[in-house]
Structure 1
């Protein structure tokens, strides 16, 4: 291109740009992914009215994929949020969002949301509104339950927190969140497992272990099993589960189930007038029939959904093992054992905390079973 033609192009360029703009050839619209992400962000900024009253903060979605199908789009996202004053870090779950074009125009809006396949649901996914009751040390969120029922659970949780704190002097939040779904099936949806897994149980605790703070321990009540318990039984169940919340930072994959479950029962029964034969009836029957356990309960013995009598014997034996340690070596030694066993092998922890070994502890436990249950 000679100098004259280059000069002509430079002169005509502004005019050409103006002509394109006048003709309506604007910059291309943002891609669908970007539009959908913007719509999801708008949805997060104004959570549904059904969440009103729940102390939520940091409510956000991280969109990980977008799929468009004509006038609709599907977004897969990770929901993150905190319960203000209760969660130390964000929690959440995988979600699916359905979007449609806003009024048929170029933008999108969220029209539905649900839990992703394989992910547990959230309490507010259930059809009825979530009721909120605040206790002195507790936050109770319930669906399909009377205000009186939720208030009674809050009072029981308020008593459970100081009881757990007295057993576990280490650092923890000293507050608890209790979820009360409408039915056993709804409870199973919250936990992502079959309903039969929890049939007959009063409550369970959620939350990851790993030696660090768990952002969202929740005590989840089975409304059917809990309703069958006496007042004393409810208090024991809630104190047991709250103790799991208290000990979470010290609980790791190294911690044997007999110690974690036994410690929680030890904390729950400390103020109970029940003796070993009353609190451990299933194991007492077995011992009287000559079926003395050969070893402390294995982790597999505590699995939900198995033989109920075998599971009961495991829990009762674990409680009596921790009760023995506290009686013979002291409460502080039991706590020290729990702290150590989360970081190092059980033999080393037993030696440091109790000055004994596993065979000696097992033998002492078996002797206690004979004397107290036989």
Structure 2
């Protein structure tokens, strides 16, 4: 059964598979607050597998109007495990001097960032490492890894922007460790675009520590001194990457045991399966991220620890605000995804790719339609038995508990006692439309709701494309469920 933790949903089922399986589902992203006037402020950003196997859980965060779990990263509390500024500024100065010092720090920091970005773009490793503090030995090792990772990615745009700083953010022991004439923590926006995959650059906020040495030169000394809760971290900062590209996919793996190349055929095949149903009027490209550890998945998503322990995959947009054209990633759960059989992973990737194609991370479609449609596409690609895929729902119907309405957003919450039925209900609602009206009509129905700017978009689509009201459809759907349950 799928479960949702935090901001998602989940469900379970079984599939006829000679290896194993799993299941897909929703997505989430955080809106970025508008900066106030004045100086800029930081923008936070299964047991043995037999022929019949229980489908693992997969969840997509769905960002957009009405979706559960939308988080305001800007309002997130500071990470309690991160160092905090317990001391005052390194020197007390009159207000005019403080302002001048702020301008000086920003100028010096921006110069370092510019050199760093130019070095990445030019492919100049030596120049990149020249921006790194010699005395920060551990960070120099990290910087070499970061540069090597960026070299492996098909980068188009790569930029840094100095946003703000806080001279009181570094704890006394950290300042002593740095041993610099001056040290401060800055919030830096990094933008990067994967050429051939992203319409717009991905963006994230990095906490960059700068130091000024006795010779007056400024260097970068850390990318990780202080993150706030819910702050996303670029995958290329988390560990050594293995990157492989297919005809329709880019797979980025942090897990040496899960080589990127092995997953490319599955991702390419998922794109083909989705295009057969959705059509080809989308980029037909996906980016799949395979973390090595649960914590890395949480860092990429900007999630609290242990949020996604039972979730096979997540679809997320790498921007702070949901919008059409945002770079979208499919992020796998390292443990569950690897344990799933090949067919199971195919189901998950097809489901998630459906969210990518339909821009579900920035769509007003109700959750039942987004998840039901993604399940429909996935199960068309990999046949499933109704008794397996809708086990809990059919059991409820046979017990006389026939749903009285299509599942609402709350039905997909982690705390919902009827979470599996919500997913199964959504899938069978979409399948009913396809069986009665044709698959093409199902797609048109989805697109009509997706593109509508009206608050009545869903009801309008029911009337225009299905020739009935939602209430009439629910009555037909209830009969359909009873037929499937044999009651």
| Partner of residue 335 from structure 1, selected from 423, 443, 452 | 443
Distance 2:405 2:240 in 1: 48
Distance 1:371 1:274 in 2: 18
User: Are 1:132 and 2:243 counterparts?
Assistant: yes
Q: Which of the pair is proportionally richer in helix?
A: 1
Distance 1:68 1:227 in 2: 44
| Partner of residue 159 from structure 2, selected from 41, 60, 65 | 60
Distance 2:243 2:301 in 1: 20
Q: 1:91 to 1:209 in 2, by over 3 A?
A: closer
The answer on whether the counterparts of 2:324 and 2:362 sit within 8 Å (CA) in structure 1 is no
| Partner of residue 375 from structure 2, selected from 265, 271, 276 | 265
**What CA deviation, in whole Å up to 9, does each residue of 1:77-100 have, x standing for no partner?**
111110111101111211111111
Q: Secondary structure at the match of 1:270?
A: helix
- Alignment match, 2:148: 50
User: Are 1:120 and 2:229 counterparts?
Assistant: no
| Partner of residue 84 from structure 1, selected from 195, 206, 209 | 195
Normalising by structure 2, we get a TM-score of: 0.66
Greater RCO, 1 or 2 (C-alpha within 8 Å, sep 6+)? 2
Task: Work out which of the two has the higher radius of gyration on C-alpha atoms and give 1 or 2.
Answer: 1
- Alignment match, 2:352: 241
Q: Secondary structure at the match of 1:218?
A: strand
How far the C-alpha of 1:218 sits from its partner, in A, is 0.4
The answer to which of 70-79 and 355-364 deviates more is 70-79
Gap runs ≥5 in structure 2: 1-99, 121-145, 169-180
Q: 1:202 to 1:32 in 2, by over 3 A?
A: closer
How far the C-alpha of 1:249 sits from its partner, in A, is 7.1
How far the C-alpha of 1:338 sits from its partner, in A, is 1.0
User: Are 1:362 and 2:474 counterparts?
Assistant: yes
- Alignment match, 2:342: 231
Gap runs ≥5 in structure 1: 1-27
Q: Secondary structure at the match of 1:133?
A: strand
How far the C-alpha of 1:359 sits from its partner, in A, is 0.7
How far the C-alpha of 1:353 sits from its partner, in A, is 1.2
How far the C-alpha of 1:272 sits from its partner, in A, is 2.8
Distance 2:402 2:279 in 1: 33
The answer on whether the counterparts of 2:355 and 2:361 sit within 8 Å (CA) in structure 1 is no
Distance 1:164 1:357 in 2: 28
Q: 1:58 to 1:262 in 2, by over 3 A?
A: same
Distance 1:32 1:81 in 2: 24
- Alignment match, 2:186: 75
How far the C-alpha of 1:209 sits from its partner, in A, is 11
**What CA deviation, in whole Å up to 9, does each residue of 1:260-312 have, x standing for no partner?**
11111111111333232221122122222222111111112223x434x6222
Aligned pairs (5 A) from 1:188-267: 188-207=298-317, 213-248=324-359, 252-253=363-364, 255-267=365-377
The answer on whether the counterparts of 1:250 and 1:338 sit within 8 Å (CA) in structure 2 is no
Distance 1:317 1:328 in 2: 16
How far the C-alpha of 1:162 sits from its partner, in A, is 0.7
Distance 2:337 2:211 in 1: 42
The answer on whether the counterparts of 2:258 and 2:338 sit within 8 Å (CA) in structure 1 is no
